[in-house]
Chains A and B, each alone.
Chain A
Amino acid sequence: GQSLEQPSEVTAVEGAIVQINCTYQTSGFYGLSWYQQHDGGAPTFLSYNALDGLEETGRFSSFLSRSDSYGYLLLQELQMKDSASYFCAVRVGGSQGNLIFGKGTKLSVKP
């Protein structure tokens, strides 16, 4: 079967750095994506890694190690508005294949 594991909840304070890990076991791998979802809202795309290494986009960075079937999302200089759920997703079945989502990590940012 296909599975993605990520912590269910993470709490951090404003200004801090937080790392959300994701390990995956899938039949095929064509990239790891991260999505953010605020309560009651739609998921929105944050980042994508097809190759090993770090991708940086502003305060957010994402890392991938294909040999370890592992990736993480790093959020720096946390702000209250970063309180949301974060989902990792693996593309399977080819470069245009479907995304399999993890169950999400609920991040709470405290003052």
Chain B
Amino acid sequence: NAGVTQTPKFRILKIGQSMTLQCTQDMNHNYMYWYRQDPGMGLKLIYYSVGAGITDKGEVPNGYNVSRSTTEDFPLRLELAAPSQTSVYFCASSGTGGPSGNTIYFGEGSWLTVV
């Protein structure tokens, strides 16, 4: 029962490098999200998608890009990495309507350090 799978789990980037965090879900959820969590803080929404081909900005989108070509996949791209992007990144998904729409399922997280 895979749920939400994100890779890599750990990554160290140099300032100015770019990378893509991969995320896939096997629950046929329409909604997918990328959050970041800084130490001792809550989760802040970076981008979200309500379905294939549709994406929108969250609270903290600067420095990131996303795409949603399929229902299953929602990669997050970091362009020109900066130390301020050092964080834990969580991909998540949820269904639509009823109880399934109120539960967000999170991946295990990706620890990113920019040096």
B90 and A101 contact, CB distance less than 8 A: no
If A43-B90, A96-B50 touch, whether A102 touches B42 (CB-CB below 8 Å) is yes
Total number of A residues with any Cβ neighbor in B under 8 Å: 22
A81-111 contacts to B (CB < 8 Å):
87, 91, 95-96, 98-104
Q: Which residues of A contact B42 (CB under 8 A)?
A: 4, 87, 101-104
Q: Does A69 contact B (CB under 8 A)?
A: no
Fill in one digit per residue for A51-74: 1 if any B CB lies within 8 Å of its CB, else 0.
Answer: 000000000000000000000000
Q: Does B74 contact A (CB under 8 A)?
A: no
Least CB distance, B108 to chain A, in whole angstroms: 5
Q: Which residues of A contact B90 (CB under 8 A)?
A: 42-43
Q: Which residues of A contact B58 (CB under 8 A)?
A: 98
If A31-B102, A87-B43 touch, whether A42 touches B33 (CB-CB below 8 Å) is no
B interface residue numbers (CB < 8 A to A): 31, 33, 35, 40-45, 48, 50, 58-59, 90, 96-97, 99, 101-109
A interface residue numbers (CB < 8 A to B): 4, 31, 33, 35, 41-45, 48, 50, 87, 91, 95-96, 98-104
